[in-house]
């Protein structure tokens, strides 16, 4: 059950309208790594969680907070669009430079949403539930969450740098700080899980059922050998089960593929006899 209160988690009020920036802000609302994505990702991970109750509770805590961030961004976008169409049409009629710049406005903000935010990214692409990950394996999911927060924070910082609006920057500074906390949170949860299981996901698959001879080999499949200087090419493996080795010139281990001709009913390319 969810309850809504009228107050936002944090202020979301721009200094002045800016419909072009409203379009940019759509990315961290409805983009691949936007707030809608992480809200749905964390909530479904929580609702599906069969592990310890503390993980379910934590996921539902942060997923619900991300819904609050969705509301903050939607509110900010709506205010960035306030009074924009008439005002900018008048300015465009007087100034061809402004008219050219207005090409950056999302017309759907006027035509479809009536000066409101939409569940889309900055290019107008609709939000897609396939952006979300909820596999039932918490270690795999928490690593995906860490990536989502890393990408989301990176995009928020880039948006912060692309505006001088104090109100927008104030809201973004809050979201950027929360993204920092969430990255730390996922790293802490990942570390905790790795203390009780093998860090390779899934940890429950028997080692003897995988090709052990290639399980710890870094293969040089590009020109140059600089990659052998990395931690991944020598020394003890992170799962503690073996040691990394560097293969300078990896050899093909499979057969040369040969496919049988297509049957007549497929009507493929006729074979030459």
Read off the pLDDT of each residue in 183-208 and give the average, rounded to a whole number. 95
% of the chain surpassing 70 pLDDT: 92
Co-location of 121 and 174 in the same domain: yes
Please tell me whether residues 219 and 120 are part of one structural domain.
no
pLDDT score at 198: 92
Provide the number of structural domains found in the chain: 2
**Percent of the chain at pLDDT exceeding 90:** 85
Residue 101: per-residue pLDDT: 46
Using an 8 Å Cβ cutoff, are 35 and 69 in contact? yes
Sign of CA dihedral 70, 79, 21, 13: negative
Model pLDDT, residue 248: 95
Q: What is the pLDDT of residues 106-159, one digit of tens each?
A: 888 888 898 999 999 999 999 999 999 999 999 999 999 999 999 999 999 999
Averaged confidence pLDDT in the chain:
92
| Total-model pTM | 0.89
> What is the rounded average pLDDT of the residues 233-243?
94
Domain that holds residue 218: 207-247
User: Tens digits of per-residue pLDDT, 69-82?
Assistant: 999 999 999 999 99
The least confident of 72-76, 109-113, 219-223, 225-229 is 109-113
Is 108 found in the same domain as 45?
A: yes
pLDDT in tens, 145-154: 999 999 999 9
In this structure, the answer to whether residues 151 and 231 fall within a common structural domain is no
Highest mean pLDDT among 18-22, 93-97, 152-156: 152-156
Based on the domain organization, do 180 and 218 belong to the same domain? no
| C-alpha pair distances (Å), 106 with each of 111, 117, 195, 205, 269 | 9, 10, 48, 49, 47
Q: Given the structure tokens 């009228």, which residue do they identify?
A: 6
Examine the domain organization and report whether 138 and 185 are in the same domain: yes
Residue 145 resides in a domain:
yes
171: domain CATH number is 1.20.1260.10
Does 148 share its domain with 217?
no
Task: Report the greatest alpha carbon distance in the chain.
Answer: 77
The string of pLDDT tens digits covering residues 43-54 is 999 999 999 999
Please check whether residues 211 and 190 belong to one and the same domain.
no
Does the residue 269 lie in any domain? Answer: no
Q: Where are the beta strands (DSSP E) in the chain?
A: 217-219, 235-236, 243-247
Q: Tell me the average pLDDT across 1-18.
A: 95
Same domain, 94 and 225: no
């Amino acid at each position: 059950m969810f309850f809504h209160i009228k107050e936002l988690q944090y202020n979301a009020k721009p200094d002045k309208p800016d419909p072009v920036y409203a379009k940019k802000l759509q990315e961290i609302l409805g983009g691949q790594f936007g707030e809608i994505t992480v809200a749905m990702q964390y909530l479904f991970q929580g609702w599906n969680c069969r592990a310890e109750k503390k993980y379910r509770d934590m996921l539902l805590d942060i997923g619900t907070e991300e819904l609050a961030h969705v509301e903050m961004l939607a509110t900010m976008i709506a205010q960035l669009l306030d009074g924009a169409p008439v005002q900018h049409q008048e300015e465009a009629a007087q100034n061809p430079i402004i008219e050219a710049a207005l090409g950056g406005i999302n017309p759907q903000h006027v035509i479809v949403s009536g000066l409101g935010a939409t569940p889309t990214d900055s290019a107008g692409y609709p939000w897609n539930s396939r952006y979300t990950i909820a596999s039932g394996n918490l270690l795999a999911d928490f690593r995906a969450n860490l990536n989502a927060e890393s990408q989301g924070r990176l995009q928020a910082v880039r948006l912060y740098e692309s505006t001088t609006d104090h109100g927008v920057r104030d809201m973004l500074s809050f979201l950027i700080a929360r993204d920092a906390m969430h990255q730390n949170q996922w790293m802490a949860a990942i570390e905790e899980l790795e203390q009780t299981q093998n860090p390779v996901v899934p940890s429950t698959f028997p080692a003897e059922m995988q090709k052990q001879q290639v399980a710890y080999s870094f293969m040089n499949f590009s020109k140059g050998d600089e990659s052998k200087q990395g931690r991944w090419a020598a020394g003890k493996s992170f799962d503690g089960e073996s040691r990394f080795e560097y293969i300078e010139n990896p050899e093909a281990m499979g057969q040369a593929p040969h496919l049988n001709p297509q049957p007549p009913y497929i009507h493929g390319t006729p074979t030459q006899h």
